[in-house]
Amino acid sequence: MPKPPLTILLASPRGFCAGVERAIEIVERALEKFGPPVYVRHEIVHNRFVVETLEAKGAVFVEELSAVPPGVPVIFSAHGVPKQVPAEAQARNLFYLDATCPLVSKVHREAERHARIGRQIILIGHAGHPEVIGTMGQLPEGAILLVENAEDARTVQVHDPENLAFITQTTLSVDDTAEMVAILQRRFPHIHGPKKEDICYATTNRQQAVKAIAPQCDAMLVVGAPNSSNSQRLVEVARKLGCPNALLVQRASDIDWDRVGDVSRLGITAGASAPEILVEEVIEACRIRFEVTIREVTVTSESVQFKLPRILAKPSVATA
Ligand code: SF4
């Protein structure tokens, strides 16, 4: 029987961002340079496939520094860590490498700058996400107020509306954040903040690409992990922007074809921590069921690259 036709609208940009590529490379180079095991505090990026691939090469993932034995290198994940984590590593004489994305570090520095000049800080973000824990942990407890949604923005109580700043998590919904920022600016006209928000280029571009294809799609598959903030936001953006049947899948074997339903146009994208190989796997799964035509929809191109820590900048050279 001939297979039914399916047009895949492939969002671009999708998948790995510069911060994720850098973080993974830090682990790979550390394994080459120091040899296994290399410990990593928290999933280096939120993707099971990436974590398992690095585990197979000798990386050991732990949630707390207390699980790191003496004498082995430890890497902090791309999401950033509270200040107490490097302090604890120093106190224990551990050798550590920080894979925090430079765009997250930039938000940490903003928070410190505001605090230095006496401003109370509102962080727009999701409670419990490691990036939020890391950002709040740049300053003493209580220095940063967390605003998670528009209702919080309408009700948050501050010490001094004249001496106030906001910062944001980097992986939020651009539209939801704009609404929260507008509420805060209406309530506190003198609030300081970044020109727009701190949402990174990769999150913004992936959401733009989803917006471009969502209204044309019968269903959309977002390749990403349930604990990946930017992947979850892509699902929400697709649903809001005209494709209610948007589903998060970690990989091809997760696809619930009953939920995908009758499709002739399927959108596919991937969160910033999902490797392209998993997108290819999803496309192959489509080919088993459909006669596939692929149309890539590119909204912008990306050329951002971040430097590695100096100690890893060059591949180690073997000596005779
Ligand atoms: S999603 Fe953005 S902030 Fe997060 S690692 Fe990638 S570039 Fe950095």
Topology given in CATH for the domain delimited by 5-16+201-298: Cobalt-precorrin-4 Transmethylase; domain 1 (3.40.1010)
The class of domain 18-101 in CATH terms is alpha beta
Could you tell me the two tokens for 156?
A: 């948050």
pLDDT of 320: 47
Could you tell me the two tokens for 164?
A: 């106030």
Torsion angles phi and psi, residue 75, rounded to 5: -115, 135
User: pLDDT for 57-72, tens place per residue?
Assistant: 999 999 999 999 999 9
pTM of the complete model beyond 0.85: yes
User: pLDDT for 76-133, tens place per residue?
Assistant: 999 999 999 999 999 999 999 999 999 999 999 999 999 999 999 999 999 999 999 9
Return the residue whose CA atom lies nearest to atom 8 of ligand 1.
Answer: 19
In 3D space, the residue among 307, 306, 312, 319 whose CA is nearest the CA of residue 73 turns out to be 312
pLDDT-derived band of residue 196, with 50, 70 and 90 as boundaries? confident
Active-site position among 55, 131, 179, 284: 131
131 labelled catalytic: yes
Return the residue whose CA atom lies nearest to atom 2 of ligand 1.
Answer: 200
Q: Do domains 5-16+201-298 and 18-101 have the same CATH topology?
A: no
With beta carbons less than 8 A apart as the criterion, state whether 81 and 137 touch.
yes
Residue 68 Cα to ligand 1 midpoint, Å, equals 26
Residue 289 Cα to ligand 1 midpoint, Å, equals 34
Residue 47 Cα to ligand 1 midpoint, Å, equals 14
- Mutation test of ligand 1: which of 77, 103, 167 has the most ligand atoms closer than 8 Å to its C-beta? 103
Asked whether the predicted pLDDT for residue 177 surpasses 70, the reply is yes
Topology given in CATH for the domain delimited by 103-187: Cobalt-precorrin-4 Transmethylase; domain 1 (3.40.1010)
What strands, in cross-sheet order, belong to the sheet with 219-223?
246-249, 219-223, 265-270, 5-12, 291-298
Asked whether the predicted pLDDT for residue 318 surpasses 60, the reply is no
In the chain, domain spans: 5-16+201-298, 18-101, 103-187
